[in-house]
């Protein structure tokens, strides 16, 4: 049975049919790992902030936002899948956990900031494995200029400064056009302005990639590639990938800020760019952290390996054995059971003892038309050995809650 209120960050909110936030998620909200002393996410944040030394550095915005702010203000269409309760966490219909730091763009531009970084925890319902966690951290960066000859002169001067710096550096950039028919400038923009701003965005981020990945001891050049992208709140839009330790890694999304964002923020005479990057993915690479759950570890064998401001290689301590349990059931009819609902239930029961969840079988019974699902849950603690009895107890709670909450029939 579900109470009619949820207590989140010290306040009570009425719940409704959209409510899907779980105690496991609520418990993460006050932790703010990106501000925790010596934590790798904090070190990475600081490194990016030092690169953008003359930007405002913001990091204290509440994760609770309206869907309007997370989606509508940024021109997400009404039917965008991110809005659904299977993809995002809702306290109730009118209040959700931000899914990206872009949710604060209008607010920050509206405060008159023209160069800023904002770091925050963001929340998305997702599968369970070593690189997905329903809470992660993003950093938004933005810079806007006066849409005037003076403003464009500022962009040109900055482009010249950055081009000069990059020309001295050991970097190979695979570029694409700043503007193209499939990645157009906005109707309200002078295409020459849009071109200059997109170029500034690219130069600025190429330089950031050098700071993050172009260690002084490398002898190979750093390879960065630009890819056409789509976001409802930027055009043109780009993704950046970096070739690191033999693989292309997706690092960030970016683009020229949609004019309606700046109009809503009451700075209509500006033009500029924004980017958003995920801190965990970059930190996992830079610190060689093999599992995303480790960022949440309280174990001294993890925490004591890091010192503020230092990027060092994590030395894994012995992995405790894992233990898997399968559960097979008939999904409720006709609604079925969404994988994200299954995963949140498991996370809520097992918290960080669950390492991954895989669907290993699914079929529709030819006569009854019922769907049978089988999931394999892999349990492992980061900090200790789990006993089989303990895992059986957890699994029994998962099974009981599957029956209670979703009305499944266990096979
Ligand atoms: N908010 C986007 C995401 O989470 C990233 C982004 C930020 C894209 C700013 C463009 C501009 O995927």
Q: How far is CA 344 from the centre of its chain?
A: 17
Going by C-alpha positions, the residue among 42, 19, 45, 18 that lies closest to residue 31 is 42
Give me the DSSP letters along 60-89: ---SEE-HHHHTGGGT--TT-GGGSTTTS-
Mean pLDDT within 277-301:
94
Q: What angle do CA 158, 164, 170 make, to 5 degrees?
A: 125
* The total number of structural domains that make up the chain: 2
Pairing mode of beta strands 56-58, 115-123: parallel
By most ligand atoms within 8 Å of CB, the mutation choice from 140, 231, 232 for ligand 1 is 231
Centre of ligand 1 to C-alpha 53, Å, is 21
Classified as helix, coil or strand, 196 is helix
Give me the DSSP letters along 243-277: EETTEEEEEEEEEEEPHHHHHHTT-TTEEEEEEEE
Same domain, 277 and 394: no
Q: Is residue 374 part of a domain?
A: yes
117 C-beta closer than 6 A to ligand 1:
no
CATH of the domain at 403: 3.30.70.380
CB 110 within 8 A of CB 142: no
Model pLDDT, residue 36: 96
261 C-beta closer than 6 A to ligand 1:
no
CB 374 within 8 A of CB 326: yes
Task: pLDDT band for 311, please (50, 70, 90 cuts).
Answer: very high
Q: What is the mean pLDDT of the chain?
A: 95
Same domain, 360 and 327: yes
Same domain, 120 and 159: yes
**Residue 264 exposure: Cα atoms within 13 Å on the Cβ side:** 18
Same domain, 239 and 135: yes
Same domain, 146 and 291: yes
Centre of ligand 1 to C-alpha 381, Å, is 33
Beta strands in 102-182 (DSSP E): 115-123, 135-146, 171-174
Same domain, 362 and 296: no
Centre of ligand 1 to C-alpha 340, Å, is 22
Model pLDDT, residue 334: 87
Q: How many CB atoms lie within 10 A of CB 350?
A: 20
Same domain, 261 and 345: no
Task: pLDDT band for 219, please (50, 70, 90 cuts).
Answer: confident
Centre of ligand 1 to C-alpha 179, Å, is 18
254 C-beta closer than 6 A to ligand 1:
yes
Q: Is residue 157 part of a domain?
A: yes
Task: pLDDT band for 1, please (50, 70, 90 cuts).
Answer: very low
Nearest atom (ligand 1) to Cα of 275: 9
Centre of ligand 1 to C-alpha 275, Å, is 6
Q: How many CB atoms lie within 10 A of CB 9?
A: 12
- Closest residue by CA, ligand 1 atom 9: 275
Q: Is residue 216 part of a domain?
A: yes
Going by C-alpha positions, the residue among 250, 241, 305 that lies closest to residue 131 is 250
By most ligand atoms within 8 Å of CB, the mutation choice from 65, 102, 232, 251 for ligand 1 is 102
**Which among 243, 275, 303 is the end of a domain?**
303
Q: Is residue 55 part of a domain?
A: yes
Task: pLDDT band for 217, please (50, 70, 90 cuts).
Answer: low
pLDDT at 216 over 70: no
Same domain, 188 and 289: yes
By most ligand atoms within 8 Å of CB, the mutation choice from 76, 103, 183, 276 for ligand 1 is 276
CA dihedral 205, 211, 215, 219 (to 10 degrees): 40
Question: How would you list the strands of the sheet with 371-379, edge to edge?
Answer: 354-364, 371-379, 323-330, 409-410
CA distances from residue 353 to 26, 249, 297 in whole angstroms, order as listed: 17, 28, 11
Q: Is residue 91 part of a domain?
A: no
Q: Is residue 287 part of a domain?
A: yes
- Closest residue by CA, ligand 1 atom 4: 100
**Residue 406 exposure: Cα atoms within 13 Å on the Cβ side:** 26
**Which among 303, 331, 360 is the end of a domain?**
303
CA distances from residue 57 to 86, 99, 113, 135, 270 in whole angstroms, order as listed: 33, 20, 10, 21, 20
pLDDT in tens, 102-147: 999 999 999 999 999 999 999 999 888 888 999 999 999 999 999 9
CA distances from residue 43 to 126, 127, 286 in whole angstroms, order as listed: 26, 27, 11
pLDDT at 28 over 50: yes
255 C-beta closer than 6 A to ligand 1:
yes
Centre of ligand 1 to C-alpha 372, Å, is 37
Give me the DSSP letters along 181-225: TTBPPPTTS-HHHHHHHHHHHHHHHHHHHHHHH--TT--SPEEEE
**Which among 252, 274, 303 is the end of a domain?**
303
Nearest atom (ligand 1) to Cα of 138: 4
- Closest residue by CA, ligand 1 atom 10: 254
pLDDT at 218 over 70: no
CATH of the domain at 115: 3.30.930.10
Domain with 398, as residue range(s), is: 323-410
Centre of ligand 1 to C-alpha 237, Å, is 9
The tokens of 27 are what? Answer: 């418990």
Q: Is residue 19 part of a domain?
A: no
**Residue 46 exposure: Cα atoms within 13 Å on the Cβ side:** 16
Centre of ligand 1 to C-alpha 63, Å, is 16
Centre of ligand 1 to C-alpha 226, Å, is 15
* Euclidean distance between CA atoms 380 and 319, whole angstroms: 9
Going by C-alpha positions, the residue among 220, 240, 244 that lies closest to residue 169 is 220
Task: pLDDT band for 2, please (50, 70, 90 cuts).
Answer: low
pTM: 0.91
Centre of ligand 1 to C-alpha 318, Å, is 37
Q: How far is CA 398 from the centre of its chain?
A: 27
Going by C-alpha positions, the residue among 278, 277, 272, 279 that lies closest to residue 142 is 272
Which residues, including other chains, have CB under 8 Å from residue 50's CB and lie 6 or more apart? none
Same domain, 116 and 176: yes
Same domain, 220 and 280: yes
Nearest atom (ligand 1) to Cα of 102: 1
Same domain, 338 and 297: no
CB 197 within 8 A of CB 143: no
Classified as helix, coil or strand, 98 is coil
* Euclidean distance between CA atoms 100 and 107, whole angstroms: 14
234 C-beta closer than 6 A to ligand 1:
yes
Same domain, 331 and 225: no
Q: Is residue 9 part of a domain?
A: no
Task: pLDDT band for 93, please (50, 70, 90 cuts).
Answer: very high
140 forms beta bridges with 118, 276
Longest dimension (CA), the chain: 73
Q: How many CB atoms lie within 10 A of CB 351?
A: 14
141 C-beta closer than 6 A to ligand 1:
no
253 C-beta closer than 6 A to ligand 1:
yes
């Amino acid at each position: 049975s579900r109470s009619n209120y949820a207590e989140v960050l010290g306040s009570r909110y009425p719940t409704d049919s959209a409510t899907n936030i779980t105690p496991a998620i609520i418990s993460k909200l006050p932790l703010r790992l990106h501000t925790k002393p010596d934590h790798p996410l904090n070190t990475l944040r600081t490194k990016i902030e030092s690169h953008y030394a003359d930007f405002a550095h913001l990091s204290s915005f509440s994760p609770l936002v309206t869907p309007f702010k997370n989606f509508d203000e940024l021109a997400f269409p009404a039917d965008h899948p991110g809005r659904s309760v299977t993809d995002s966490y809702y306290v109730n219909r009118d209040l959700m956990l931000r899914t990206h730091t872009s949710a604060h763009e209008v607010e920050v531009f509206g405060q008159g900031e023209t160069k800023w970084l904002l770091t925050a925890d963001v929340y998305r319902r997702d599968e369970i494995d070593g690189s997905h966690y329903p809470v992660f951290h993003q950093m938004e960066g933005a810079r806007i200029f006066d849409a005037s000859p003076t403003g464009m002169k500022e962009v040109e001067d900055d482009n010249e400064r950055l081009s000069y710096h990059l020309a001295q550096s050991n970097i190979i950039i695979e570029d694409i056009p700043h503007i193209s028919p499939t990645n157009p400038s906005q109707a309200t923009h002078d295409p020459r302005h849009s071109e200059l701003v997109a170029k500034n965005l690219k130069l600025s981020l190429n330089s950031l990639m050098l700071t993050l990945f172009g260690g002084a001891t490398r002898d190979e050049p750093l390879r960065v590639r630009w890819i056409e992208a789509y976001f409802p709140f930027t055009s043109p839009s780009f993704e950046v990938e970096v070739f690191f330790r033999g693989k292309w890694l997706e690092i960030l999304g970016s683009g020229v800020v949609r004019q309606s964002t700046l109009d809503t923020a009451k700075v209509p005479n500006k033009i500029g760019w924004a980017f958003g990057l995920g801190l965990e993915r970059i930190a996992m690479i830079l610190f060689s952290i093999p599992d995303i759950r480790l960022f949440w570890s309280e174990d001294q064998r993890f925490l004591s390996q890091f010192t503020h401001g230092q990027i060092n290689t994590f030395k894994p301590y012995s992995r405790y054995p894992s233990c898997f349990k399968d559960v097979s059931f008939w999904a409720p009819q006709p609604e079925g059971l969404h994988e994200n609902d299954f995963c949140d239930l498991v996370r809520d029961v097992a918290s960080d003892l669950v390492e991954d969840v895989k669907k290993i079988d699914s079929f529709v019974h030819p006569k009854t038309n019922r769907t049978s699902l089988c999931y394999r849950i892999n349990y492992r603690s980061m900090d200790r050995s789990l006993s089989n009895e303990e895992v059986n107890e957890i699994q029994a709670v998962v099974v009981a809650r599957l029956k209670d909450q979703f009305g499944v029939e266990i096979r």
